[in-house]
Structure 1
């Protein structure tokens, strides 16, 4: 055979070998082979179809998927839709990479320029680099491989390292000094990390062995300080309680009471896909606390929208153990308070939403005074006795007295009267008691 005839034969053989290495290239040229059973591209079944027919079917499926594209981009506390025109589905590349008899991914391409435009419009405070844009686009393309809608894509999954942490919530409580146990509690809270979707229990932390015994008042103080900072985030409050009376140290509306006996706790959950760190310290006569992490889209600002006060009443009781001219104050009065807390969500100073947070009510504590028994006129004793005999329901004042232990009985006592009082706790007429529980004569005012 002549050399000039051998060369064309070798070239033809090499071309034939190259084609047989790619089954789907042969299908594209000759359309002679079919995809095997259980061959899928995303959710679309192309089993037993030749390449040309599979291409035609996917063209229809991809066109429908394009029109119904539902991709939500999520960043912390905001989500927005990805415009369908920024996504292109590549049928030829999808089929070229498909393996017969297997589940195969859909090949999609996200326009980098289009994505950058969307992100700059929706998240103007965050500067995305080219590498960040490319990472987010690649992440969207990966999520679209299944073809399942809707798709939620968390931007922070791909660019968390490029977004610097910021302080998202702060609080401060002035206090002259703290106990060693409270100092340990602040140290335990400092640099504590709240992981994505993690729930946090304040009581669990404060009752741990590394902290030591704390009073409910100390726990409530630290818990309320943290609660004030948490309200400046999008964290979900799972449990929060208040005391029965107004605390002298904590502003009504921002209390998060802890009660170990009743099991009252303060709990919250981080709903974001990023972690946050608590910073806590005591210095210069104040407990300072902050929460740091990836910045939010919204600014959260809790405020007291309304405060109402309720004056206590004065409950007057009578006892033979109180000397004439004396008034024993067995319980000082305390004003009741109702505080309404709201929170505004704003962007660049513009309020976009206002939400109700809580309406805390602290009932007033009534003032209880114990007065001496009034002298009864003996001329009317008989008639009074007759009336009492004929009318068992008579609730008039009697000369009988209660035991010393009963001097602090409630206002329903038959020897008690109630009057309105417009003031707070008063010390007028307070008496010093001896060991038997009786007032010391002459000590009243």
Structure 2
């Protein structure tokens, strides 16, 4: 019996306290002024009665409406929210304001106006009605602070409403792969690139779960991924090329990995959404794709221009090469310069063209080793006699070199040996540089 009386008494006290609070709040809103440190958004309404606070807030919000700057961001596109779609509710803001505290601005965003805007700016992205409500509510929440400008990521509120799509793909034909490369492809498969995350290819490929890979295998897989990344808005942080053209990778799309030099392939996802890499080897090819929320633009990288540079032929002479023979110590390789551009288009209409890279691979010169030539000494003697007996000799020295198969004699005459360099009909030239062969003996000649 007593417990019931106590319970009723406590309940009565709670009701009285609530009624008193309501009465005080009502009395406060009718006549009392707001206490110190009372803010609505960034606006100070301290020591103002409700009527005064309303007038001040109306002026402040009118000015805020004039400088309203709300940027709506969807992946790789940004556009502005028209000020007329936003309305500030002054009465509701003051009705919910607490004296002596920071209070939000009550804002409403026109659903119909937002729907029209999104259908115009994102015609290929289907956004359902409930998703539009979510975006509008998100904008209203962001605007409660009254701080401008405001950047609102649409994907924060509609990520679950927009299905993932393949945004980049590449393929590399290869007959077979090593067990280590197979592990690397498996490690790359289903890998998620989080929002604003940076990715290092070398870090992945040198992890314990992959195992030892050659630089060539790393470069092959890295270049395949680079080709797919170029079809997105990902930011390339580091990318390198080899010193010579790869026989397997198209110039312009190489992303070389060199463990000794620390050359890596790195990129960053600048979007507010995650992306997943799909990788597999099947039917004699490495298949790779990047999946995530679709972009506004279509990114298409292409080779805009390719130039080739013929290698020179460097002729060297050696006493260890038999007469009538030519030893090719290094085969020539054509040099290449490849220019890569990328177009950004919407529904097939090109909006922008940007330069991506200009890759240059220097030509590798062909080196031929010829036998030393025996010089007719009678010709040399005749030339010397003419110089001695000619009273109009200008005093300059004239040198000739006789090739020999004697290493000891070669050592003393090597500095005067002859070499020729030719390039598709180029002129021959005498060069006095000494080059040594693998045995340590001097080989005359040099290239330019």
- TM-score, normalised to structure 1, is 0.85
Describe the superposition over 1:218-275 as per-residue Cα deviations: whole angstroms up to 9, x where unpaired. Answer: 0000000000000000000000000000000000000000000000000000000000
Q: CA deviation at 1:306?
A: 0.4
Please identify, of 429-438 and 43-52, the stretch whose mean Cα deviation from structure 2 is larger. Answer: 429-438
- Secondary structure at the counterpart of residue 247 of structure 1: coil
Contact 2:420 2:445 in 1 (8 A): no
Given the alignment of the two structures, is residue 433 of structure 1 paired with residue 442 of structure 2, yes or no? no
> Contact 2:171/2:287 (CA < 8 Å) preserved in 1?
yes
Q: Does structure 2 retain, via aligned residues, the 8 Å contact 1:302–1:344?
A: yes
After superposition, what is the alpha-carbon deviation per residue over 1:147-173, rounded to whole angstroms, capped at 9, x for unaligned?
000000000001101100000000000
Cα RMSD over matched residues? 6.8
Question: How far did residue 426 of structure 1 move?
Answer: 22
1:353, distance to aligned residue in structure 2 (A): 0.3
- Matches of 1:430 and 1:184 in 2, distance apart? 50
Cα distance in structure 2, aligned partners of 1:335 and 1:58: 74
Residues 394, 168 of structure 1: CA spacing in aligned structure 2 closer, same or farther, 3 A cutoff? Answer: farther
Change (3 A) 1:304 1:133: same
Q: Return the offset for 1:416.
A: 2.1
Query: Are 1:237 and 1:268, in contact at CA under 8 Å, matched by a contact in 2?
Result: yes
Equivalent-residue separation in structure 2 for 1:86 and 1:244 (angstroms): 57
CA contact (8 A) 1:367 1:425 kept: no
Q: 1: distance between equivalents of 2:375 and 2:246?
A: 44
Cα shift at 1:22: 2.9
Deviation, 1:319, is 1.1
Deviations 1:22-52 (A, max 9, x none): 344xxxxxxxx11111111111111111111
Q: Is the Cα–Cα contact under 8 Å of residues 313 and 367 in structure 1 kept in the other structure?
A: yes
Contact 1:299 1:345 in 2 (8 A): yes
CA apart distance, 1:381: 3.9
Query: Per-residue CA shift, 1:97-138, capped at 9, x if unaligned?
Result: 111111111111000000000000000111111110110000
Give the Cα separation in 2 of the matches to 1:287 and 1:425.
48
| Distance (whole Å) between structure 1 residues aligned to residue 288 and residue 413 of structure 2 | 43
User: How many aligned positions are there?
Assistant: 435
Per-residue displacement from partner, 1:379-409 (whole Å, max 9, x unpaired)? 2445778999999999996335799999999
CA pair 423-95 structure 1, distance change in 2 beyond 3 A:
farther
Alpha carbons of structure 1 residues 224 and 413: separation in structure 2 relative to 1, 3 Å: farther
Distance change >3 Å, CA 410–CA 181, structure 1 → 2: farther
| Helix, strand or coil at the partner of 2:394 | coil
Structure-2 change in CA distance of 1:323 and 1:429 (3 Å): farther
Unpaired runs of 5+ residues, structure 1, are: 25-32
CA contact (8 A) 1:312 1:421 kept: no
Mapped contact 2:419–2:444 kept (Cα < 8 A): no
Which sits farther off after the overlay, 164-173 or 428-437? 428-437
Using the alignment, how far apart are the partners of 2:174 and 2:429 within structure 1?
26
Contact 2:176/2:284, CA 8 A, preserved across alignment: yes
2:244–2:362: 8 Å Cα contact kept in structure 1?
yes
Q: What SS is found at the alignment partner of 2:411?
A: coil
Q: Which range is displaced more, 61-70 or 427-436?
A: 427-436
CA distance in 2, matches of 1:288, 1:405: 61
CA contact (8 A) 1:342 1:354 kept: yes
Measure the CA separation in 1 of the matches of 2:206 and 2:411. 36
In the alignment, structure 2 segments of 5+ residues that lack a partner are: 7-12
- 8 Å contact kept, 2:168–2:228: yes
Q: Deviations over 1:82-109 (max 9, x none)?
A: 0000000011111111111111111110
For 1:390 and 1:248, the matched residues in 2 are separated by: 61
Alpha-carbon contact 1:322-1:439 (below 8 Å) kept: no
Distance 2:83 2:254 in 1: 47
What do residues 183-218 of structure 1 show as CA deviations (whole Å, max 9, x unaligned)?
A: 000000000000000000000000000000000000
Tell me the residue number matched to 1:3. 3
CA contact (8 A) 2:75 2:272 kept: yes
Equivalent-residue separation in structure 2 for 1:412 and 1:160 (angstroms) = 75
How far is the alpha carbon of 1:373 from its aligned partner?
1.1
Could you tell me whether the CA contact under 8 Å between 2:278 and 2:290 is conserved in 1?
yes
Q: Distance in 1 between matches of 2:53 and 2:241?
A: 65
